[in-house]
Amino acid sequence: MAKKRLQTKAPRPQLTDGEIPVVGAREPCPCGSGRRYKACHGRAAAQAVTELVQRPFEGLPGECDWVALRELVPAATVELELKEGLPEDIPSVTLATVLPMAWPALRRDDGSVLLGLQNDTASGDISRDLADTLQRALAAKPGTPVQSRRAPADGPRLQDLLDPEGAFEPVVHPGFEFWVPDAENATPEVSASLERANAAAIPTVKLTGVDAAYWCETPEKNHLRWVMPHPEEQLLDALARLHAAGGSSLGEGTRLVGSFRGHGLTVPVWDLPSGVTAQDIEKPAAEFAERLATALASDAPLTGDERRARGGLTNRQVTLS
């Protein structure tokens, strides 16, 4: 019998993590480990997609207003400025709280782009999902809505696409008529979606004297919801100091009732009497901002009353995201 020839395996090429392509979850990992992709390099890729980014809008102009439009404001738009400028065939890019039929984005017949903010996202990074939707909308044919999908884990984020020096100036609308330039010629589906959205919209007004504060009207009482950029622990201490000293209200009949936590920022909420309008609260809000700045600058230990006030505020905190 002839001797069997010894078989020697050729060494597999060594790939760096950045060179390993994405394959099916049950396929062998291209790195050559012999394991399935989902149990090898696919694990890190899946974690990158699902890992929650606590402050997805950090670094963008108007971070507080991004949070407000994502979580609190029914109908608003903002003109966006791209880092590389607008393509020749796209006259404008507009962020909208909600789009008809819950579309993630829409390329209008005139070539302009609408990007929806309040849609569900597939990953833990809203910024990356929105950037992926925006890129696909910029490349879509006019008159085409953009559908949702899972964004690539290594895709760009809004921070990579938007002008970091661009203005972010929300315009709050009483309804969603901005969806359609010619409402009379809208499709029945869009008209029905518009009617439902307008019926559900809570009247909302953005204050002009302070940043990211939004008055809203409800059947029982009105509210002021104010997204603030300060670190949560420092802000809660400052609010507790003011609350214990009787300085946390916005005037007679108003009351600081707690706060939301949204996308890494804190949103104090005040109850207002039903007769108090957005214009009525402008001056009290500006005066509160001055008191808050003083309280934020203090590093003295909290007193017993202040600690109790802080505990009450913390107990009434709700996480939105």
Phi/psi of residue 211, nearest 5 degrees: -85, 140
Tokens of 196: 């439902």
Select from 158, 309, 183, 156 the least CA-distant residue to 247: 309
Q: CA 20 to CA 7: how far, in whole Å?
A: 27
Q: Can you give the pLDDT of all 321 residues of the chain as single tens digits? A: 444 444 444 444 455 554 566 556 567 888 888 787 667 766 654 554 457 899 999 999 999 999 999 999 999 999 999 999 999 999 999 999 999 889 999 999 999 999 999 998 888 999 999 999 999 999 999 999 999 998 998 999 999 999 999 999 999 999 999 988 776 777 888 888 888 989 989 999 999 999 999 999 998 899 999 999 999 999 999 999 999 999 999 999 999 999 999 999 999 999 999 999 999 999 999 999 999 999 999 999 999 999 999 999 999 888 776
Q: CA 302 to CA 176: how far, in whole Å?
A: 46
Q: Which residues, 6+ apart, have CB-to-CB distance to 281 below 8 Å?
A: 207, 215, 224, 250, 251, 254, 272
Q: CA 234 to CA 295: how far, in whole Å?
A: 9
